[in-house]
Amino acid sequence: MPPSTLSNLQPVPLPKKAEQPLPADAVSAIADLREKWQLLHDLDRAAAVRNIIQLGVPRRRLAREMGFSEGLFRHLLKALKASPADQELARRNVISTNELVRRAEGRPLVRPVKRLPVKAVLPAVPLLKPPPRLYWLRARRTSAPKSIVGGWWNR
């Protein structure tokens, strides 16, 4: 095709699926949650999200309506699976929501048991290494001028 016809081509928009209208009780619940979001604890947010999902709203659609990621809602819903004792600790801000989710999933916090000192882990590296092209001068033991070899070489 000649270049003039390539520049005239426009992308064709794909037809979008028609979204199902939300139930009236779900619309009011979403509006209520959006209004109170900043005032609620994470566990209260999770309970409200769970209630809206039980009304038949998909998690992805709810995330789009609320302006948050679906991953945030997934994370909050995982926190509801924790034991009541752990949930109480989270409500008192003794543990974070991330720690609550870790405990709910049975994953321990991964930390090394014993940390080695940095010197034991890293090998010793000389700070100044002579350039490789000057090895022949040192091998022949010639007296080269210091401008070529450098004053630090013969120390």
Averaged pLDDT, groups of 10, the chain, 155 residues long: 63 76 91 95 97 94 94 96 95 94 83 63 65 61 55 53
pTM: 0.60
**Packed helices 84-91 and 97-105: angle between N→C axes, nearest 10 degrees:** 170
User: Which pLDDT score, from 0 to 100, does residue 17 have?
Assistant: 75
pLDDT value of position 13: 76
Class of domain 24-105: mainly alpha
CB 75 within 8 A of CB 101: yes
- What is the rounded CA–CA span in Å between residue 53 and residue 118? 50
Sequence spans of domains, the chain: 24-105
Q: How big is the chain, counted in residues?
A: 155
